Chains A and B, each alone.
Chain A
């Protein structure tokens, strides 16, 4: 009886979350899944065509290119960002560094700004000839950087977007990794130092194994977040030039909202969702095994 009452009260308190989850997550996903099997334009009646959309997608060079662009930008952004974040976190965690809190707060400023406002700023930073990079390069005599068409060259545009993402997101990973380093018990580190271990040995032998699970979490989080980013691409290139930065979120958005190919876009959305899900599950498995 007590248990049953407890369960009922618990469910009563958690029901808003359960309800919101059902309405805004499960129901929509079920709905897209349904429409992904239909030839459907928003506003008209869907005609069910089985797996047609999926087969078309896998043969659609634009979709495959979008998947490639997403992965490329994510790799360009996430790998340097995480290396930088790890170095920053290690530096911040050094007890001899003064004003640690002030550093962390100032670092967080790009994170709490919004993509659109800072996207406008980065557009002007990256402008060839007159932009901030070009102008600073000219003052420093680095002439080769002056005319670089950052956002209108198919090779450079993904790099420019990645640079913007690195600028905006690195501090967030830094804070997570910093918290991870700080969670290593001080007396263990102290004992190792007393035993004559060097700074690097302490890091690799003691801190790293303890922070590995959180590091994997940060890797998964930043990779998935970056794959799903719509704003930096929309603000800097809108998907161009020549589809070089037409990532999955842009592909979905255009197919659904611009071309009204709703069934097709739904199928692409399902593939994107399943891909992210598989990635997250695989990573969390690895994470569990390691911890």
Chain B
């Protein structure tokens, strides 16, 4: 019995230690975001700001510094891009997942696995070819370029297919016998049943889109099209801002909040989706 409780104590210690490791950098960021410039790198670390400067957030958001554009405008771009991508991904994934789940056609399995396999490849290994395609489509340096390549993803299709496979065929057959068209079956049976898929795919896509960096870095050249991470990477640029670390940290905090809030609200379906991913075997 004693042996068991030692093991349990060790497990708690491991979890607690890891939790500190995982959250301490973010706690430090949050505290630095409220500090005066000279307190950010004070030795020893001041975990509670000695004086509070919420104006750091206003400075991070509003001060124009990227040829007249402000970080706030980049947040608007990120919001548009991530929202549109998530909405499109939801619609397409349900349709595609349904096609894979409920219809037999030649090459179905091969297609599904190729699609899924392709998304496991590192994005940076296809960034050059993707850039060439987007450029030849005339979408270089536009917000569209940040959206269209990501509206279909292997993970989203896979999750949706897994979920829709479980829908009983009898439902669909009954509707067809009543004379419903395929489109009507999809709209009135499949879509209303897809609630969990919709949330999972929406959260995953929104977060991926919001946090992407390499792609906007290569495909956007005008600063009016910059996204939040892109703007953040340039926050330290410009003579006056070089070492305004408290403003960096305020900007970083702002950029982290939207995907984090999204995650915390929809944490259940998101985690279920992740766990389904590991059922790929």
Contacts A115-B211, A249-B124, A265-B128; A121 near B249 (Cβ below 8 A): yes
Interface string of A84-121 (1 = CB under 8 A from B): 10011011101011000001111111101111111111
**Is B62's beta carbon under 8 Å from chain A?**
no
Interface string of A258-291 (1 = CB under 8 A from B): 0000100110010011001100100000010001
Would you list 13 pairs from A and B whose C-beta atoms are within 8 A, ordered by A residue? A7-B104, A12-B99, A12-B182, A28-B133, A91-B15, A109-B26, A113-B260, A116-B233, A175-B275, A176-B274, A183-B279, A248-B125, A266-B128
**Is A69's beta carbon under 8 Å from chain B?**
no
Docked Cα-Cα span, A199 to B5, in Å, equals 13
Quick one: closest B residue to A10, CB to CB?
B103
Which residues of chain B (195-235) have a CB below 8 Å from chain A? 207, 210-211, 213-214, 218, 228-230, 232-233, 235
**Main secondary structure on B side of the interface with A:** helix
- The residue among A104, A107, A114, A129 with the most chain B CB atoms within 10 A of its own CB is A114
**Residues on the A chain within 8 Å of B255, using CB:** 114, 116-117
Contacts A13-B186, A217-B281, A228-B124; A88 near B15 (Cβ below 8 A): yes
**Is A63's beta carbon under 8 Å from chain B?**
no
Docked Cα-Cα span, A262 to B127, in Å, equals 12
Which residue in A7, A17, A220 is a CB contact (below 8 Å) of B152? A17
- The residue among A21, A131, A252 with the most chain B CB atoms within 10 A of its own CB is A21
Interface string of A193-237 (1 = CB under 8 A from B): 000000100000000000001100110110011011111001100
Quick one: closest A residue to B45, CB to CB?
A135
Q: Contact: A120 with B248, CB < 8 Å?
A: yes
**Is A16's beta carbon under 8 Å from chain B?**
yes
Q: Name the interface size band of chain A.
A: 35 or more
Interface string of A21-65 (1 = CB under 8 A from B): 101110111011001000000000000000000000000000000
Which residue in A107, A109, A118, A280 is a CB contact (below 8 Å) of B117? A280
A-B contact count (CB 8 A): 299
Q: Contact: B125 with A176, CB < 8 Å?
A: no
Contacts A136-B44, A265-B128; A280 near B106 (Cβ below 8 A): no
- The residue among B117, B128, B132 with the most chain A CB atoms within 10 A of its own CB is B128
Q: Could you list which residues of chain B lie within 8 angstroms of chain A, going by C-beta atoms?
A: 7-8, 11-12, 14-15, 18-19, 21-23, 25-26, 28-29, 32, 40-45, 92, 95-96, 98-100, 102-106, 108, 111, 114-115, 117-118, 120-133, 148-149, 151-152, 157, 182, 186, 207, 210-211, 213-214, 218, 228-230, 232-233, 235-236, 245, 248-249, 251-253, 255-256, 259-260, 263-264, 267, 271, 274-275, 277-281
Q: Contact: A257 with B125, CB < 8 Å?
A: no
**Residues on the B chain within 8 Å of A129, using CB:** 43
Shortest CB distance A255–B (Å): 9
Docked Cα-Cα span, A28 to B32, in Å, equals 43
Q: Contact: B43 with A138, CB < 8 Å?
A: yes
In the complex, given contacts A24-B149, A97-B8, A256-B131, what are 15 additional A-B residue pairs having Cβ atoms less than 8 angstroms apart?
A: A10-B99, A15-B99, A16-B96, A17-B92, A23-B133, A124-B32, A129-B43, A130-B41, A135-B41, A135-B45, A176-B275, A213-B281, A217-B278, A218-B278, A228-B125
**Main secondary structure on A side of the interface with B:** helix
Q: Contact: B111 with A97, CB < 8 Å?
A: no
Q: Contact: B218 with A253, CB < 8 Å?
A: yes
Shortest CB distance B1–A (Å): 12
Docked Cα-Cα span, A139 to B46, in Å, equals 11
Quick one: closest A residue to B215, CB to CB?
A230
Q: Contact: A214 with B15, CB < 8 Å?
A: no
Q: Contact: B214 with A230, CB < 8 Å?
A: yes
Docked Cα-Cα span, A127 to B211, in Å, equals 24
Which residues of chain A (164-186) have a CB below 8 Å from chain B? 167, 170-172, 175-177, 179-180, 183
